[in-house]
């Protein structure tokens, strides 16, 4: 059974204070690892897909990296608008409709 | 393009009542999904449809039924609502052979 564990559960940063969110996973064969952002009262918004160990992707102040057991979402010089819950999900290498298994998320708050 | 549209956005039911959550997508996705999101539990898969005419159970299917009416529409039915089904329900679409899901805004259901 696929498992995804995210840490920390909650993180409070000051504006400009860089940090990383962790996503540890167990899957029999990884097809892809996904990062989403979710704002209160909204649906998850897709950020990145990573497919193989060593891969990195960037978008503005966010950079996602992947190893064989975990992924990190690095946030550089965050701003208050980066406050949200960040979700990690894994997709198993099987079938054509490959469902995603999600972690419980990290709630990020960035203050002035 | 509206993306993935869910109706209703909010609903209050009494125990034992039935209702159907509607989902429609205009992104030409082959696969569609229904997840529920509860505090501390993350997103859990209820049912999914790999393609028009097929449906499969996810992690938490008990108490629910689904219908893939056509390529665009995927509905979720609660035949006899229970308080344990109080949750936020998300519909999502997925492109064939690509992993990322695109989510609707959610339907917030309260069962009294």
Instruction: Select from A49, A98, A99 the residue whose CB has the most chain B CBs within 10 Å, as the one to mutate to test that interface.
Output: A99
DSSP B84: G
**Nearest Cβ partner of A97 from B94, B102, B105?**
B94
| Inter-chain CB proximity B101 and A43 less than 8 Å | no
Q: Rounded CA gap, A103 and A36, in Å?
A: 11
Q: Rounded CA gap, B69 and B30, in Å?
A: 13
Burial status of residue B66 (CB atoms within 10 A of its CB: 0-12, 13-18, 19 or more): buried
Reply yes or no on whether the pLDDT at B8 is more than 70: yes
Q: What is the band of A27 on the pLDDT scale with cuts at 50, 70, 90?
A: confident
- pLDDT given at position B70: 94
Least confident of A42-51, A66-75, B1-10, B73-82: B1-10
Backbone phi, then psi, for B8, in 5-degree steps? -80, 170
A58-74, pLDDT tens digit by residue? 999 999 999 999 999 99
Q: What percent of chain A has pLDDT above 70?
A: 96
Here the tokens at position B11 are 């609903």
Give the residue from A97, A68, A22, A93 showing the smallest Cα distance to B45.
A97
Instruction: Select from B100, B104, B106 the residue whose CB has the most chain A CBs within 10 Å, as the one to mutate to test that interface.
Output: B100
Here the tokens at position B73 are 């529409």
CB-based contact A99:B45 (threshold 8 Å): yes
């Amino acid at each position: 059974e696929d498992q995804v564990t995210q840490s920390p559960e909650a993180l409070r940063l000051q504006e400009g204070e860089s940090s990383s969110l962790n996503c540890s996973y167990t899957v029999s064969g990884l097809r892809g690892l996904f990062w989403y952002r979710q704002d209160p009262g909204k649906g998850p918004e897709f950020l990145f897909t990573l497919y193989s160990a060593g891969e990195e992707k960037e978008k503005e102040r966010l950079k996602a990296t992947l190893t064989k057991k975990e992924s990190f979402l690095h946030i550089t010089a965050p701003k208050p608008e980066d406050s949200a819950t960040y979700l990690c999900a894994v997709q198993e290498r099987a079938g054509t409709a490959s469902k995603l298994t999600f972690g419980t998320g990290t709630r990020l708050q960035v203050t002035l | 393009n509206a993306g993935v549209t869910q109706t209703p956005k909010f609903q209050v039911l009494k125990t034992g009542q039935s209702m159907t959550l509607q989902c429609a997508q205009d992104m030409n996705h082959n696969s569609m999904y229904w997840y529920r999101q509860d505090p501390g539990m993350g997103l859990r898969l209820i049912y999914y449809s790999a393609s028009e005419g097929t449906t499969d159970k996810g992690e938490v299917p008990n108490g629910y039924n689904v219908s893939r009416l056509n390529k665009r529409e995927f509905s979720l039915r609660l035949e006899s609502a229970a308080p344990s089904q109080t949750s936020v329900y998300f519909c999502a679409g997925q492109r064939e052979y690509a992993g990322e899901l695109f989510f609707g805004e959610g339907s917030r259901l309260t069962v009294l």
